[in-house]
Structure 1
């Protein structure tokens, strides 16, 4: 799990914008400094903008909401911080035009991450702002990859609690901009990632007797394959049900049986997530959508 201390709130504000791509003033305030007045956060952002580290766009259709993003200069500064060693510069929102084009989906993903961070604070668990990492690249070979909307690190239990449990999840936030079948196809992509073993480099020697066999690529990063969470937004309850039924139909395909045995795959509506919190029993397992469970208690067998 990641933690930014050096440099105080200024560094954390820039680091969050680097990692999340974009956030509104209120989202940033709740992520980095919920214990102070929002006016202090506004002053901090104005100062960082004056220093050329961040910039903003204004959304007139949303009550002139200000949306912040890191500048190229801010990205260059942040690239030196060890907390952001996983960050990929190519995914930075570098100017106002790019920010306006990406704002809808990106702010929804930011709001989702904020929900997990706030829920952890309420429950005494550990999920810091930088434990929500958007768009982590996972190769599948032949130029293909799985890129979840976010990778979540979440620890049940207080800091230093030896009995705490580390949870990881791939998170897909669907705003109903694609059809149910395309959404459900993401299960197939994650099933491929679950079994993907990189090919040996050209010219590599054949495996000798007693040498360990090649392993799935995800094992280099994770002790267990992360849970897969679908968060459904942009429709009413009927649309959510339609999308969950499409996920269920894909999950029933025989080629996904091994993946579903090893990895919890759950879906919930954004409305329920924001109303009840991520830890509530709002999640519907895609293999049995008639049930509702908590994602933190849905465990690998």
Structure 2
């Protein structure tokens, strides 16, 4: 066999790692450890990744900047994509395979931040005995918001979270919108308006809203702010709330519930902490379900 040829049987953990990269595109070594080896040592994840590199299934680039700058950022090689997609029932990838150039580009910061959001929910679910696993969120999900071809809203991710049966069965969805403070607040407000349109959109001839064909309940929007110091993010959130207040679908009684938080607080305190501001109720903070509000 030539070097890099996938041979032998992979462990369940190795296969799950490949599936995570297939679903989430880019993950750091630390993120993979948080997902797959939460009680293990980082060295264990590094050894598993070294094996997959040897088999030609994964590759890595350096982190562009920030606290992860000494970590590697991992993605699937074409051979790795083939291995995952050969498994029956695997959801086809909606994006083209990553190259080194793409993994090192502007995509990196945004994708890793979205995955930090998902990991925060995975960790919270573990602590509470709920169900939100390493594949509990899906990136770049398209939803219709009108009759024209361009009337769509693309969620950065859709997250699925299931409460422990002892607490009463419930499945909760969230549209994840990750804002890195790189665009005017007006553009962010316009995208939230599109979410409101999607919540009301009914295809011609249909008897109910289109989202009901995909979800048991209407997903709320979770807007996560990052890319700037906390004080600046607070001002950005306040400006957004003020702008949305004058928008009929996003005002005091939004068509679709929208919660806002900072990524740093979400990763530090988890989604069950009172770190969220609800659009329409900016004077109180609550958890991700809108519960436990405090002034």
Q: Normalising by structure 2, what TM-score?
A: 0.85
Distance 1:29 1:83, change over 3 A: farther
CA distance in 2, matches of 1:226, 1:292: 20
Distance 1:198 1:76, change over 3 A: farther
Alignment check: 8 A CA contact 1:170 1:227 kept? yes
Number of matched pairs: 278
Distance 1:238 1:192, change over 3 A: same
CA distance in 2, matches of 1:229, 1:60: 26
RMSD: 2.4
Alignment partner, residue 277 of structure 2: 284
CA distance in 1, matches of 2:87, 2:251: 39
- For the pair 1:100 / 2:104, whether they are aligned, the reply is yes
Match of 1:178 among 175, 183, 188: 183
Alignment partner, residue 156 of structure 1: 163
Residues 79-98 of structure 1 aligned to structure 2 (within 5 Å): 79-82=85-88, 84-85=90-91, 87-92=92-97, 94-98=98-102
CA distance in 2, matches of 1:275, 1:33: 19
Alignment check: 8 A CA contact 2:276 2:288 kept? yes
- Secondary structure of 2:176's aligned partner: strand
Distance 1:189 1:246, change over 3 A: farther
Q: Normalising by structure 1, what TM-score?
A: 0.84
Alignment check: 8 A CA contact 2:160 2:173 kept? yes
In structure 1, stretches of 5+ residues that fail to align are 1-5, 201-212
Residue 291 of structure 1 deviates from its aligned partner by 0.6
CA distance in 1, matches of 2:109, 2:73: 11
Residue 75 of structure 1 deviates from its aligned partner by 1.6
- Secondary structure of 2:23's aligned partner: helix
CA distance in 2, matches of 1:290, 1:190: 23
Distance 1:82 1:259, change over 3 A: farther
